[in-house]
Amino acid sequence: MFRYIVRRLLQGVLTFFGATFIVYALMFANQDDPLQALAGERPVTPAVRQYLTDYYHLNDPFLKQYGYYMKGLLTGDLGQSIGRNRPIKDLLMDAWPITLKLSIIAIIFAALLGVTAGVVAGIRRAGVFDYVTLLIALFLISLPFIVLAPMAQYLFGVELKIFPVTTGGNPSLYKLLLPGMALGTVALAVTLRLTRTSVTENLRADYVRTARAKGLSRQRIIGVHVLRNSLIPIITYLGVSLGDLMAGAIITEGVFNIPGVGFNLFQGIRTEDGPRVVGFVSVLVIIFIITNLVVDILYAVLDPRIRYE
């Protein structure tokens, strides 16, 4: 187990350096006029040019620049946002808790509803419930998220008026409910299908027959034996789904006006605020790598067969 963790940690570190390098290289390498690229379509005055050149060490060789960037990244100094004129780190600190709340709502929504519906569909395989939920799940997964989020906002916010339409600054948990559920919808559909398949497979497993021969009740067989085995792929998926969640958050926060990480990214793109985009994307990549690592370790905890490799 220990060796497994160490191995994964090393892999994670490697990926970390690799990914940040790629992000950095994509943004800054071989630019004819890197300053213009940073500033986007804004004109750059000589004074600003000088400042930016010094700040970003643009007269240094590329690798050295990367070094400064990494140093900044690791010490938390992400530079200055051009559009908002604040340190990017501060923007991140403000935005972070909001997106966290949003994501947690999304995951809990997806997990609870998805697992429950999936278990029921799995038990009643080929029943009406099964077919209907599978169809709905496929529909939700395939539907472009840029349709789902605005339509959810329109239907539940504007038309039915159940939830507030936008959230504005420092939103309460209640205001984040609708966007959170919209964000979690795809994860919900995938979780449902995963759970259903997993449960169906496990119900056919030999150990279920043994459990019945032991005289265990149906509730125990499904609730303890089958579920424990079925949950392994589900939990690992939910961990991995964070990547999709991040992408979805960009759109969700844009549509619902939530000042989170995604919204900042969205704005940064719109206002051509290069440093902000790079900074936020880098941090998101790091989080992504860390969650993948945690999920891998979690997988070993859940499935004893992996531990002893």
Partner 1 sequence: MSSSQMEPVATSVAVPAPTVEEVERPGVATGKPRSLFSDAMHDLRHNPIFWVALVLSLLVIVMAAFPSLFTPNNPADCQLNRQHAGPNGWAIFGYNFQGCDIFARSVYGARISVEVGFLSIAVLGTIALLIGVTGGYFGGWADAVLSRITEIVLGVPYLLAGIVLAKRLSAGQSSGIWTVVFVIGVLSWTTACRVVRSSVITAKNQDYVAAARMLGAGHARIMLRHILPNALAPFVVVLTIALGTAISTEATLTFLGIGIKPSGDGSTISWGLDISGAVPHVRESATPLIVPSVFLSVTVLSFIMLGDAIRDAFDPKLR
Partner 2 sequence: MTTDIKTEIDFLPETDSSAALLEVRDLHVEFRTRDGVAHAVNGARFRLQSGQTLAILGESGCGKSVTAQAIMGILDTPPGFVTKGEVLYRGVDLLKLSEDERRRVRANKIAMIFQDALSALNPVFTVGFQLGEVFRKHLGMSRADAKKRAIELLDMVRIPAAAQRVNNYPHQFSGGMRQRVMIAMALALDPEVLIADEPTTALDVTVQAQIMKLLAELQAERNMGLILITHDMGVVADVADWISVMYAGRVVEEAPVHDIYARPAHPYTKALLESIPRLDLKGQQLNVIKGLPPNLTAIPSGCAFHPRCRYARDACRVDPPPPLYETGSGTTAACHFWKEVRGGE
Residues that bind partner 2 (CB under 8 A): 205-207, 209-217, 220, 225, 228-229, 232, 302-305, 308
Spatial separation of the C-alpha atoms in residues 43 and 289, rounded to whole Å: 36
For 79, how many CA atoms within 13 A lie in the half-sphere containing its CB? 26
Angle at 245 between CA 243 and CA 251, to 5 degrees: 120
Spatial separation of the C-alpha atoms in residues 8 and 296, rounded to whole Å: 8
We find the least distance from the C-beta atom of residue 15 to partner 1, in angstroms, to be 7
Question: Encoding tokens for residue 230?
Answer: 């079925």
Q: What share of the chain is helix, strand, coil (3-state, %, to 5)?
A: 75, 0, 20
Angle at 236 between CA 234 and CA 238, to 5 degrees: 70
We find the least distance from the C-beta atom of residue 158 to partner 1, in angstroms, to be 6
We find the least distance from the C-beta atom of residue 271 to partner 2, in angstroms, to be 51
Spatial separation of the C-alpha atoms in residues 122 and 262, rounded to whole Å: 35
Q: What residues does 87 pair with on adjacent strands?
A: 80
R_g (Cα) of the chain, nearest Å: 23
For residues 161 and 305, which CB has a smaller minimum distance to partner 2 in the complex?
Answer: 305
Spatial separation of the C-alpha atoms in residues 248 and 258, rounded to whole Å: 13
Spatial separation of the C-alpha atoms in residues 266 and 269, rounded to whole Å: 5
- Choose the contact partner of 265 out of partner 2, partner 1, none; CB within 5 to 8 A by kind: partner 1
We find the least distance from the C-beta atom of residue 2 to partner 2, in angstroms, to be 17
For residues 61 and 144, which CB has a smaller minimum distance to partner 1 in the complex?
Answer: 144
- Choose the contact partner of 139 out of partner 1, partner 2, none; CB within 5 to 8 A by kind: partner 1
C-alpha torsion sign, points 38, 40, 45, 48:
negative
We find the least distance from the C-beta atom of residue 284 to partner 1, in angstroms, to be 6
For residues 116 and 210, which CB has a smaller minimum distance to partner 2 in the complex?
Answer: 210
For residues 161 and 214, which CB has a smaller minimum distance to partner 2 in the complex?
Answer: 214
For residues 53 and 257, which CB has a smaller minimum distance to partner 1 in the complex?
Answer: 257
CA distances 131 to 60, 120, 135, 231, Å, are: 62, 12, 6, 22
We find the least distance from the C-beta atom of residue 75 to partner 1, in angstroms, to be 22
- Choose the contact partner of 143 out of partner 1, partner 2, none; CB within 5 to 8 A by kind: partner 1
- Choose the contact partner of 102 out of partner 2, partner 1, none; CB within 5 to 8 A by kind: none
We find the least distance from the C-beta atom of residue 62 to partner 1, in angstroms, to be 15
- Choose the contact partner of 147 out of partner 1, partner 2, none; CB within 5 to 8 A by kind: partner 1
Instruction: Answer yes or no: are the C-beta atoms of 248 and 102 closer than 8 Å.
Output: no
- Choose the contact partner of 302 out of partner 2, partner 1, none; CB within 5 to 8 A by kind: partner 2
Instruction: Answer yes or no: are the C-beta atoms of 239 and 107 closer than 8 Å.
Output: no
Binding site for partner 1 (CB under 8 A): 15, 18-19, 23, 26-27, 36-37, 40-41, 138-139, 142-147, 150-151, 153-154, 158-159, 165, 243-244, 246-247, 250-251, 254-255, 265-266, 269-270, 272, 274, 277-278, 281, 284-285, 288, 292
